[in-house]
């Protein structure tokens, strides 16, 4: 039953981690907090924060490569198309690539944790906060913790349990 419980917790994260507004300042605050955490904890990760039509923050820390930016691109596409956290896709479908019958090209979409929808109250999903560099569950956790902290919540109230 752990998977079903994780899915419900991710749905709660998606419902409750909603911003009152989103602009360049919010993107910068979220992004720099994630980057600082990565530096402090020596995490090799890429963070990308964007609306659907433009990138608003990008940073990479030591230990990442161009591959991480490519994973970010594919996770963003998945969040945009399916309107949910990419880690929820992992929990619901497993990490197998999309089948040819799905009409989703694996070169452009991936089922892997780390893409989290940016929701704005009254507007819905307007973009994505995406992390790459850690295992997918951890990428997801970094994004959720940053949003929870930014919103004044205790991150542990939204954290998935260890596997």
114-149: pLDDT as tens digits: 999 999 999 999 999 999 999 999 999 999 999 999
How far apart CA 74 and CA 65 sit, in angstroms, is 15
Across the range 94-103, mean pLDDT stands at 85
- Residue 96: what pLDDT? 85
Q: Are residues 135 and 109 in contact, defined by beta-carbon separation less than 8 angstroms?
A: no
Tell me how many degrees the CA angle 66-13-19 measures, rounded to the nearest 5: 80
Confidence band (pLDDT; 50, 70, 90) for 100? confident
Percent of the chain at pLDDT above 90? 91
Domain 2-151 falls under CATH 3.30.470.20 = no
pLDDT digits over 25-80, tens only?
999 999 999 999 999 999 999 999 999 999 999 999 999 999 999 999 999 999 99
Confidence band (pLDDT; 50, 70, 90) for 102? confident
pTM: 0.96
- Residue 64: what pLDDT? 97
Judge whether residue 1 has pLDDT over 80: no
Q: Minimal CA–CA distance to 150: which of 36, 53, 10, 9?
A: 36
Across the range 86-91, mean pLDDT stands at 97
Backbone angles phi, psi at 127, to 5 degrees: 180, -160
| Annotated domain spans of the chain | 2-151
Mean pLDDT, the chain, rounded, equals 96
């Amino acid at each position: 039953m752990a998977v079903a419980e994780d899915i419900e917790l991710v749905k709660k994260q998606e419902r409750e981690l909603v911003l009152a507004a989103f602009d360049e300042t919010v993107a910068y605050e979220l992004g720099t907090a994630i980057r600082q955490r990565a530096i402090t904890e020596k995490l090799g990760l890429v963070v990308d924060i964007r609306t659907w039509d433009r990138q608003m923050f990008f940073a990479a820390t030591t230990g990442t490569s161009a591959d991480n930016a490519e994973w970010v691109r594919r996770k963003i596409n998945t969040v945009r198309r399916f309107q949910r956290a990419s880690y929820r896709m992992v929990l619901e479908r497993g990490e197998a690539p999309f089948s040819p019958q799905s009409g989703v090209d694996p070169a452009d979409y991936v089922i892997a944790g780390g893409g989290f929808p940016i929701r704005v109250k009254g507007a819905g999903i307007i973009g994505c906060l995406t992390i790459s560099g850690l295992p997918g569950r951890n990428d997801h956790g970094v994004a959720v913790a940053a949003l929870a902290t930014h919103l004044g919540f205790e991150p542990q109230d939204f954290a998935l349990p260890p596997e």
